[in-house]
């Protein structure tokens, strides 16, 4: 594929992914606001100059902007009360707004404000469940390999620990293992960390301990990442592909989403506490790179235009499911400028029976902004290192 074609596909795929997950996130806030009687003044799909707009019967202005990289919802009173949260200021704003104050987010009961805030991340998790369930129902589940050891690499951590061909791995560090993919998922982000493996060998249960070794792995795109490797291979029998009905597909979607949430949350916690390297954190550049790689391989895998288009949409939608989980989790971090930070403020208000002071919230927002910018810098550094690894 030409450089121009690759660039176009990358831009299209990145915009497609970001637009879906961010707009759904904001729609979560919007619908929760409507349920609680909060008036939304505007809902924007994208940023920048307005291309088209219309006002619905509730008075909400819906707009499509020039730069389709996400979106936002603006509730009544956001411009004033969001930055002036103490009791005296809120009362002043209530008097100024008059009857409209009843439709203002900032004057709603605490539980309703918390619900509206949490609805964005919740919408992302629901979207992920819907995507994984729909793909499983339409296409069947992914290829399944049992968690049985097929090969043990020489001079590897697994060989040193005493693994043998035929061992069935039942649990890792207390987490149940259902497939060989689960083993890889638990190991890749834990290089150097000793792990407990509960295995079944010849009908008997036993425990082995091994620490994945830090290994530089080159992917099929020429980039490299440092991952944990233990030296185990799966069995060579043909993998099984599951079929689903509507009920079992939903169950699969929930399980897939929970697995992604659990793994991502545990990794982020270990990064924050300094127990693992933040090398696997990715930012917008990394998302664009992954989107472009997925798009190019999908188009090239198709035998004709129809197949290429089908594979492109399926694989991008699948990637959107994981991106939606990531966006939901990031927004739940207890950082003041994120949804999770607002929920922390509401928890304080519930305990203290009064909002946190304006000064304290202002300090929190500054600290939160610094933390988010720091995370973005680390993620962007990781993304650029990966891209440079493809070139040099």
Q: Give catalytic residues, as residue numbers.
A: 26
Q: Which structure tokens are listed for 322?
A: 């994981």
Query: Cβ neighbours of residue 30 under 8 Å, at least 6 residues apart?
Result: 40, 43, 73
C-alpha pair distances (Å), 222 with each of 209, 285, 297: 33, 17, 13
Round to whole Å and give the CA distance between 103 and 134. Answer: 37
Round to whole Å and give the CA distance between 78 and 43. Answer: 13
Burial-class residue 109 by CB neighbours within 10 Å (0-12, 13-18, 19+).
exposed
- DSSP-derived secondary structure for 23-50: HHHHHHHHHHHHHTTPPEEEEEEEEEEE
Identify the DSSP state of 148.
B
Q: Is residue 71 helix, strand or coil?
A: strand
Residue in the block written with tokens 């739940």: 332
- The candidate with the shortest Cα–Cα distance to 185, out of 135, 286, 255, 136, is 255
- DSSP-derived secondary structure for 186-250: HHTT-TT--EEEEEEETTEEEEEEE-PEEEEEE-TTS-EEEEEE--EEE--SPPEE----HHHHH
Round to whole Å and give the CA distance between 218 and 148. Answer: 25
Compute, in degrees rounded to 10, the torsion defined by CA atoms 53, 56, 58, 59. Answer: 30
CA end-to-end span of the chain, whole Å?
21
* Residue 271 phi, psi (nearest 5): -65, -45
Q: How many CA atoms lie less than 13 Å away from 322 in the CB half-sphere?
A: 12
Q: Which structure tokens are listed for 227?
A: 């991952």
Identify the DSSP state of 177.
-
Alpha carbon 187 to its chain's center: 19
């Amino acid at each position: 594929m030409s450089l121009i074609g690759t660039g176009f596909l990358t831009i299209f795929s990145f915009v497609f992914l970001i637009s879906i997950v961010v707009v759904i996130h904001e729609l979560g806030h919007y619908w929760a606001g409507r349920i609680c009687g909060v008036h939304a003044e505007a809902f924007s799909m994208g940023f920048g100059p307005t291309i088209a707009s219309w006002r619905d019967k509730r008075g909400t202005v819906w707009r499509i902007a020039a730069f389709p990289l996400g979106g936002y919802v603006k509730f009544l009173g956001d411009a004033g009360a969001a930055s002036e949260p103490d009791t005296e200021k809120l009362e002043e704003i209530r008097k100024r707004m008059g009857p409209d104050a009843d439709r203002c987010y900032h004057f709603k009961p605490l539980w309703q404000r918390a619900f509206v805030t949490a609805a964005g991340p919740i919408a992302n998790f629901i979207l992920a469940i819907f995507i994984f369930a729909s793909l499983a129902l339409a296409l069947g589940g992914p290829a399944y390999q049992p968690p049985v050891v097929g090969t043990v690499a020489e001079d590897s951590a697994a060989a040193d620990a005493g693994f043998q061909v035929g061992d069935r791995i039942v649990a890792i560090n207390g987490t149940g293992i259902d497939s060989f993919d689960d083993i890889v998922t638990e190991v890749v982000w834990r290089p150097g960390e000793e792990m407990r493996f509960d295995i079944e060998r010849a009908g008997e249960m036993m425990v082995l301990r091994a620490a994945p070794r830090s290994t530089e792995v080159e992917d099929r795109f020429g980039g490299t990442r440092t991952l944990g490797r233990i030296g185990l291979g799966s069995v060579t029998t043909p993998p099984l592909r599951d079929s689903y009905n509507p009920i079992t597909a939903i169950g699969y979607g929930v399980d897939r989403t929970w697995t992604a949430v659990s793994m991502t949350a545990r990794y982020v916690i270990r990064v924050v506490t300094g127990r693992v390297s933040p090398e696997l954190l990715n930012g917008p550049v990394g998302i664009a790179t992954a989107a472009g790689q997925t798009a190019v391989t999908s188009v090239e895998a198709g035998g004709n235009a129809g197949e290429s288009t089908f594979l492109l949409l399926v694989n991008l939608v699948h990637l959107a499911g994981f991106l939606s989980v990531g966006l939901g989790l990031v927004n739940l971090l207890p950082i003041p400028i994120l949804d999770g930070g607002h929920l922390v403020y509401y928890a304080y208000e519930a305990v203290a029976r009064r909002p946190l002071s304006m000064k304290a919230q202002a300090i929190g927002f500054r600290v939160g902004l610094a933390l988010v910018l720091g995370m973005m810098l680390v993620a962007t550094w990781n993304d650029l290192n990966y891209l440079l690894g493809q070139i040099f």
